Amino acid sequence: MDFSWQILGIVFAVNAGYMAFMYLLQATDNSLPPRHSLIPGTNQKFIYMQDFHSCSWGDFIAIPLIVNAFVHLAVNGFINSWQVPLLIVVAVVDGLGFWKMCLSKDHKPDQGFPEIGKISRHGLSHLPYHGAGVAMSLLIIWHLAVGNLRGPVLYVALLGGVIYISSFVADIKSGNFDPLKKV
């Protein structure tokens, strides 16, 4: 399949628009504690979207590089009728699983889940984004395995994967994904 810079540009623009929407929800949520304030009863800082490597480098750069492969596959007719319902089911299950995980008593509060058992408007907006990203990534892996994904489209997606994994590891090393630690 031929690589399209136009598709890549559109994917980056749509992703940036949704990211801006999520940032706007975060910025206008007056119920959130101040950024970097201490979470009550802990020595951990309350972090916002821009504090996560996976929300900056990962979501702004890596995700569009990965989703570009999915859109190329779709435009070229490789996403078929049985894959669309599967995509929706995986996205919903992932979104609900992410919600359940972040509502747990051990989840460190952040801009999406500011208190134990509470979700913010930003958190709600992130659920479909997370679910769709996971679902598209799984279908990309499927198409890679069956040989439908190769050449520049594949290399761009792999670059996105490396960037995302690196940003995720940076979040782990920085403590952004640490569980809640009461003092």
- Give the pLDDT confidence of 124-144 residue by residue, as tens digits: 999 999 999 999 999 999 999
Residue 4: CA count within 13 A, CB half-sphere: 17
What CA–CA distances, in Å, run from 161 to 23, 89, 100, 133, 156?
23, 23, 25, 12, 9
Confidence of residue 102 (pLDDT cuts 50, 70, 90): very high
In this prediction, residues 29-34 reach a mean pLDDT of 96
Beta-carbon contacts of residue 45 (< 8 Å; ≥ 6 apart): 36, 37, 38, 39
Whole-number pLDDT of residue 183 = 87
Answer whether 68's CB lies under 8 Å from 156's CB. Answer: yes
| pLDDT at site 122 | 96
Please write the tens of the pLDDT for every residue from 148-157: 999 999 999 9
pLDDT at 39: 95
